[in-house]
Amino acid sequence: MPQKLHIKTFGCQMNEYDSSRMADLLRASHGYETTAQPEQADVVLLNTCSVREKAQEKVFSQLGQWRLLKARKPTLVIGVGGCVASQEGEMIMRRAPYVDLVFGPQTLHRLPAMLNQALKKRPQRAKVVDISFPEIEKFDCLPPPSVHGVKAFVSIMEGCSKYCSFCVVPYTRGTEFSRPFDDVITEVYGLAQQGVREINLLGQNVNAYRGATHDAQRVVEFAELLHYVAAVDGIERLRFTTSHPLDFTAPLARAYAEIPELAGHLHLPVQSGSDRILKLMKRGYTAADYLACVEQVRASRPDISLSSDFIVGFPGETDDDFAATMALLERVGYDQSFSFLYSARAGTPAADLPDEVPLTVKKQRLQKLQQRLTEMAAAISLRMLGSEQCVLVEGASRKNPAHLAGRTENNRVVNFAGRADWAGQFALVRITEALPNSLRGEVLHVENQPLQNRPPARQVA
């Protein structure tokens, strides 16, 4: 019977992508099959996130649960990867001595060799810590990604060199580097051949991509890469996460007019609407610069849906600073977004800033911001009622396996009745119901190519 691997992922899409690559890697090297049940596993891996304290705290409580599993099954191998592993290194083993492997986001490709060490019989059996930053070697050592369904992530760059004053990512994932252009296109081509229709390009600052061609004669920038990816046969929908306002160029804004495959949704994190706070955050732009990006992209795609990340309660944030964020919200009109209470991260410059704002005030501000964001997203859902939306059919609905599910261009989940063999095709769906986290609809038409969205036939009050 094949050995079983269980991976638990905390944090962002980048971590989800890394976890699926770990599974690909250990399937190729050791024949491991993944299981959702840690009790059935021979190897359990925790892919961690340290962007906020809460996610970091969860690591040791999860490991505590796995310790009980290991007490029942001493051969169980426990590994910890991701940003907490990168930051804490051997400290993890000191606090949780039953952990066998610690690896960082840039050394996950060395997992098979590390696992071999951990699997040896005593006394050769060894605990392994490898949290170095060998950069591009990672992608050269990974097997081709396996495909699950009609959508796939493609990581095009790693790390971050922006050093926002609040963020640990540059320290845990290393500085920014882009994968070679030809490697990215080869990966997309391989995915398309396996039936993938939608590609989501990933990077901490995905639009900072600058990938060299293999002959090293040229560097391809992000907007140009989008044209190449969209031109791959079979790829009909394109998304990317996360883009940074500083790297938002005119060619990228134009891409929304020029590339029909580019979904009408842009996640462009602003963090704050106050220039004073943006400066303290070292974001490198003002609220006016951000609004200029929004204007540019709306000139190319007037109905584009925009979302953002917000940090509330940054050290020293005043009522006026917060009011500037709320004003920016109204100016832009956001769709479903993410908002966080500032979390001080050891080693980042912001952690040393004086912070006299009481936690209760910060929490009130966050609640106010989230309430307004929820209202804005609900209003957008209501406006979609009666409209006809192009949905890429992904397969059975999670809520009701007898139904199908897919996403609209603005990334809303839609559930509808239909035939299982529509997966991978595009359905024109009339939206009949707007629920808090999803939409319901009825299928009007199914085709192999994307269909044109249409507004509601009548205005819904």
Identify which of residues 269 and 273 has a Cβ nearer to ligand SAM in the complex: 269
Q: Does 240 bind ligand SAM (CB under 6 A)?
A: no
Q: Which residue among 157, 169, 294, 414 contacts ligand F3S (CB under 6 A)?
A: 169
Q: Does 304 bind ligand SAM (CB under 6 A)?
A: no
Answer with the entry of ligand SAM, ligand F3S, none that 139 interacts with (C-beta below 5 to 8 A by kind): none
Q: Does 162 bind ligand F3S (CB under 6 A)?
A: yes
Q: Rounded to a whole number, what is the distance in angstroms from the first to the last CA of the chain?
A: 59
H, E, C per residue of 13-60: HHHHHHHHHHHHHHHHHHCCEECCCHHHCCEEEEEECCCCHHHHHHHH
Alpha-carbon 176 to chain mean position = 16
Q: Which residue among 137, 182, 183, 309 contacts ligand SAM (CB under 6 A)?
A: 309
Stretch that binds ligand F3S, among 140-148, 157-165, 229-237, 413-421 (CB under 6 A): 157-165
Identify which of residues 60 and 338 has a Cβ nearer to ligand SAM in the complex: 338
Backbone angles phi, psi at 420, to 5 degrees: -55, -30
Residue whose C-alpha is closest to residue 49's, from 205, 177, 168, 204: 168
Answer with the entry of ligand SAM, ligand F3S, none that 170 interacts with (C-beta below 5 to 8 A by kind): ligand F3S
Calpha distance 270→14 (Å, rounded):
19
Site for ligand F3S in 239-298 (CB under 6 A): 244
Answer with the entry of ligand SAM, ligand F3S, none that 207 interacts with (C-beta below 5 to 8 A by kind): none
Paired with 266 in beta bridges are 306
Shortest CB 173 distance to ligand SAM, Å? 9
Calpha distance 130→90 (Å, rounded):
9
Residue whose C-alpha is closest to residue 42's, from 30, 52, 54: 30
Shortest CB 311 distance to ligand SAM, Å? 5
Position 155: which residue type?
Answer: S
Answer with the entry of ligand SAM, ligand F3S, none that 274 interacts with (C-beta below 5 to 8 A by kind): none
Q: Does 167 bind ligand F3S (CB under 6 A)?
A: yes
Identify which of residues 301 and 345 has a Cβ nearer to ligand SAM in the complex: 345
Identify which of residues 271 and 387 has a Cβ nearer to ligand F3S in the complex: 271
Site for ligand SAM in 131-190 (CB under 6 A): 166-167, 169
Cβ atoms of 259 and 296 within 8 Å: the answer is: no
Binding mask 51-90 for ligand SAM (x = CB under 6 A): xx--------------------------------------
Beta strands (DSSP E) in 82-197 are 101-103, 128-130, 151-155, 157-158, 177-178
Identify which of residues 145 and 245 has a Cβ nearer to ligand F3S in the complex: 245
The two structure tokens encoding residue 306: 């925009």
Identify which of residues 244 and 267 has a Cβ nearer to ligand F3S in the complex: 244
Q: Which residue among 41, 102, 154, 160 contacts ligand F3S (CB under 6 A)?
A: 160
Answer with the entry of ligand F3S, ligand SAM, none that 52 interacts with (C-beta below 5 to 8 A by kind): ligand SAM
Residue whose C-alpha is closest to residue 261's, from 412, 409, 414: 409
Identify which of residues 204 and 307 has a Cβ nearer to ligand SAM in the complex: 204
Strands 210-212 and 198-202: unpaired
Element (H, E) at 92: helix 90-95
The two structure tokens encoding residue 213: 């061609």
Binding mask 241-270 for ligand SAM (x = CB under 6 A): -x-x------------------------x-
Tell me if residue 103 falls in helix, strand or coil: strand
Q: What is the DSSP string of 142-171?
A: SPPPPP-SSEEEEE-EE------TT--HHH
Tell me if residue 122 falls in helix, strand or coil: coil
**How many chain residues bind ligand SAM (CB under 6 A)?**
17
Neighbours of 125 (CB within 10 A): 12
Q: What share of the chain is helix, strand, coil (3-state, %, to 5)?
A: 40, 20, 40
Q: Does 362 bind ligand SAM (CB under 6 A)?
A: no
Q: Which residues sit at the interface with ligand SAM, rule CB under 6 A?
A: 51-52, 166-167, 169, 204-205, 242, 244, 269, 271, 309, 311, 340, 342-343, 345
Note the residues at the interface with ligand F3S (CB under 6 A): 160, 162-164, 167, 169-170, 204-205, 244
